[in-house]
Structure 1
Amino acid sequence: MIRTTRDVVLDHLRRRMRGDLEGDLRENYHPAVRLLSAEGVHHGHDGVRHLAAILRTYVQDGDYQYRQVLVDGDVGMLVWSGRCSAGDIALHDGVDTYVVRDGLLVAQTIHYSSGAIVDHPDA
């Protein structure tokens, strides 16, 4: 039985929270997946690994907050944020979109902004 878009996206998110990149690739990503981000266009499992390594320079696996998951047909969208383990950088405005066909992610777009966290003293 072919998994739904929701099934694939939710499994992807669970595996990433646990830091299971290789399991995520094996179970959820088509070998020829296309990825578009501010880092450029990447392809395949090595492209996913490359972009995941860049993201890990900002925030470790599991340090995400998934704020909204939307699914319509073969398209899914995730709204998320994160905070680096040192606590001085925040990732905000995170939005990933997914296209799922035959139970696998075949395309993904990735966008997030980062910035320093500034504590505001009480006035």
Structure 2
Amino acid sequence: MSRTPQEVFADHGKRLGTGDLGLITANYTEDAVFVTPGRTLTGHQGVREGIGRLLADLPDADWQLTPRFAGDVLLLQWTATTPAHEVTDGVDTFVFRDGLISAQTVRYTLSPRTPRTPRTPRTA
């Protein structure tokens, strides 16, 4: 029995957390495409390269995900923060086929994170 897009995406999130690119790419079809504004990567090697770049940009990030499924398609809006960087405008699209990811688009702006200064309580 083939996995649903929701099941694949849940598993994908767990695998991303490991940082193991081989484990992550096992959720993609052999002919998968990984599309960014700058280029199109193909196959497992392309997925490794694309995901590797994302993980390198945002190591050990705190992710906030807003998924919206429509059949075999997922629109994912996301934000991520690390001590040094943040993304506030992440948008991915996933296309699922036969229990795997067959296409993914990724777009985000990586910005330096401005440290939040703790507020000092004011006294009267």
The CA distance in 2 between the partners of 1:24 and 1:120, in whole Å, is 33
Selected match of 2:73 from 72, 75, 80: 75
The aligned counterpart of 2:33 is 34
Q: Encode CA deviations 1:31-84: one digit per residue, 9 max, x unaligned.
A: 110111023111011111111222233211x41413211111000122222223
Aligned: 1:51 with 2:50: yes
In structure 1, list runs of 5 or more residues that go unmatched.
Answer: none
The CA distance in 1 between the partners of 2:100 and 2:57, in whole Å, is 27
> What is the CA distance between 1:120 and its match in structure 2?
6.3
* Amino acid across the alignment from 1:34: V
| More strand per residue | 1
The CA distance in 2 between the partners of 1:66 and 1:14, in whole Å, is 14
CA contact (8 A) 1:66 1:78 kept: no
Q: Say what the alpha-carbon RMSD is for the aligned residues.
A: 1.9
The aligned counterpart of 1:92 is 88
Max Rg structure: 2
The CA distance in 1 between the partners of 2:12 and 2:61, in whole Å, is 15
CA contact (8 A) 2:21 2:52 kept: no
CA contact (8 A) 2:19 2:55 kept: no
> What is the CA distance between 1:11 and its match in structure 2?
0.8
The CA distance in 2 between the partners of 1:38 and 1:65, in whole Å, is 21
The CA distance in 1 between the partners of 2:25 and 2:89, in whole Å, is 24
TM-score (norm. length: structure 2): 0.84
* Amino acid across the alignment from 1:56: L
> What is the CA distance between 1:96 and its match in structure 2?
1.1
The CA distance in 2 between the partners of 1:64 and 1:97, in whole Å, is 20
